[in-house]
Structure 1
C-alpha cells in the first residue's frame, strides 16, 4: 500500500513535483533565465509552474500561504534544491530504468482515466512533448531513489531515546490500563434480604472498612469477615491488567494511591477494596485498527477538489445503501489494496503516514470519514474494527524506533538537501515574475 511506511514515498510531497498535464503549457516569448545551478538554467516559466503547486502544498500542510513575490522566491528556492539534487544524483550515477519510467507513465495515464496513447496525444496537443513528460517522470524517480539511498542512513536513533520513548508510553498507560492488584472483602447481601438486614450488613462492612483504614492486617480481616472466593488467600485478587477487573472495582479505585481502602456496593453486596499494587502494564499491548480505503490520486484532469467531490459522492451512496464500499474500491481505488476491496488489514500504531493515521484514529468502528488528503492523494477511509493485541518487548522497541525515525525524517532530509545545495554553484539572474 503506497501510503504505508517506510518513508521512501515522502519525496513526492516534499519536492512538490507532481506532473500536471494541463499546466505544462509552452513558455512564452518573454521567458527568461532566473537562476543557473551547475550550468543548468531555471527559467521564469519553470518558477511560474512551480508556484501554484507550492501554494497548494502549503495549504494542504496547514502552513502559512505565501503570495506574490514571496511565493515566487520560495518556488525558485525549491527548484534550485531540486536541480542541485539531480546533479548530485548524476554524479553518483543513480540509475532509473526505462521500465520504471514506463510504469510511472502508465500510472499517470490511469490517474487521468486514459490510455498512454491518449495521454501522449493530449500533452502533444497542449504543446508539451512526450520526451519532456518522460524526463519529468525520470527526474521524479531519480529524486525519490536518491533520497531513499541517502537519507535513512543519516537518521540515528539511540537506545537511550528508545528507552525514553518506552518509559513515556508506560507512564501514559498508567492512566489507561495499568496492572493493579486489589485486596477484596465481600460482605454478601443475599436475595430477599430485608431492609433491616441490609442495614446491619452495611454497618458490618463499614466496621471492616474502618479497621482496614486504621491499619489492621487486611488478610486477617478477609479471612475473618469476607464471603468472597478470595477469602482463603487473604482477599488477594492477583496482579493483572485493570481491564481484567470488574469495571465497578476499577472505577472505585482509580483515584486511590497504593495502600488506600474504599468501599462500593453492587448487587452481590458490599465490597471493601484495598489498592495493593499499581504499575505500568507488564503486558505489552497496542490498539490495532482494521480499516479500508479508496484512494484517488489528483493529477492532470483530476483536480484535488474533483477527487474530493467524487469520494464524497461515494460516501453518500455507501451510507444510503446504494453502493458497496469494497466494490467501489475494486473499481476505482488507485492503491495496491484495490484488489482486496481496499482492505488494509490489521495495523499497529505508526504504520501509516501521520496525516492518514490521525483521521483513522478519530473514527469509530463502522464510521466513514469525509474525504481526507495525504501526501499520496485523497482517501475515503472507513474503520471496520479495533482490538487490543499483545506485542513482544522487541516489537515494542522496533515500534518506538520506527516512530522516532519518522519524527526525524523531515529534519534529516532538509539538512541533507541543504548540504547538497550548498556544494552546488548557484548564480541568480533576473528575479522571477
Structure 2
C-alpha cells in the first residue's frame, strides 16, 4: 500500500506530537451527530478539534472563532464517516496485519520502530489507538477512491494532444497559491447564488482591509484545504485550473485575485510566490546485446557456465555475435534479433547487468558473468544522450489530466455521497437539532 496518500494524515499526526494537546475539562461523552447508521461522539469531535487547532497554530494562522472551526471540523468528520461506511458496504477491509505494515512504514519515515512511534505518541499525551484507527480510515478512503473514482479515469493520447494544442508555449513556472472558496450548492437558486457572491465579495473586502487570508480560509472557505489556511502548496502551471493560472499570471507575489466564478462557486486566490523549472531533460541511453545461457533440466549450473565460457572464446576468435545468439541464447526476447536489446535508459536492467554494461566501452565484449537469470556475455554497441523533454512533458501532462479528471470526479462523487447520506445533528440534551442531508458545498477544482 503506497504511503503517499497518507502524507496529510502523517503531517497532522507529527504536528500533534510536536505540540501537546490543550487540556480540556472532562465532559461526559454524548452523540453530536447521527450519520446514516453511525454516530459522531463529542469525544470524536473534540479530538479532531484539537488536531485542527494544533495544525492551525503550527502554520502560524490566527485561529478563527471556535464555532466556525467546529462547523468546519464537524463537516470533515461527517465526510470521513460517509466514506468509511461506503467502503465497508463495498467490502473494502484493512485488517490489523495490513494496518501494522502501514504504521511501520510511517514509523520508518521518522526513523522509528512501530513500538517507538507508539511510545512517542503516548509520551506526548496522544491516544495511539485512536490515531491507529484514523490511519485505518485514511487507508480505507484511499482504497475506496481508487476503486470508485481514480481507476475509472481514462486519459487518451487525444486528450494530451488537445491539452498541448491549447498551450501557446510551455510554462515551466511553479506557483504557490492560497485559495478560498464560497461554494454554490447544486441546483442553487438565483437568490442563493447572489448570497454566495455577496459573501465572497465581503471576504475580499476584508482581505483588502488587511485581514489574514489563512484565518479567513480556515473560518469560511468551503475548499478542501480550508483547515490548512487554503494553502495549495507548490503546483506547476499544467496542474492548476485554467481560471487560477490566468489569475496567478496577472499577480505579483502577495497579490490577491479578483473574484473568480466557476460552476462550483466563487474563488479568491493569493499568489504567495513563484519559482522556475525550465531545464531541458536528457537521458543517457545504451544499445547493447547479449547471449544468455541458463541452467535447466538438461544442463546444470556448472555446464551453463562452461558453455558461456566456450561461447566467449568463440567470440574472441572472431565468430559472429548475432549468429551465436540466434543459435544458443536462452533469452526469447532478444534471441531472434541477434541478442540486440535495443536502446535502453538506465534502470531497465538488473543491477549486476547494468553495472557490467556501464564498465564496457563501445564494441567491448564482457567476460561471462552471472545474474539471477543465468550466465551472460554482453557487448555494448553504442551510447547516446537523448533529449526527452517532450516525452517528459507528455508524461507530465498525462498525469496532470488524470489528476484533474480524478479530482473533478471525486468531488462530484463525494458531494453525491454526502447528499445521499442522512445526517442528524444532536443538541446538548441529546435531542435532534436538525437534519442536514446535503450541505451547500460546490465543486472544488483544486484537489
Q: Which range, TM-score by smaller chain?
A: 0.3 to 0.5
Whose RCO is larger (CA < 8 A, sep 6+)?
A: 1
- Please, what TM-score do these two structures have when normalized by structure 1? 0.41
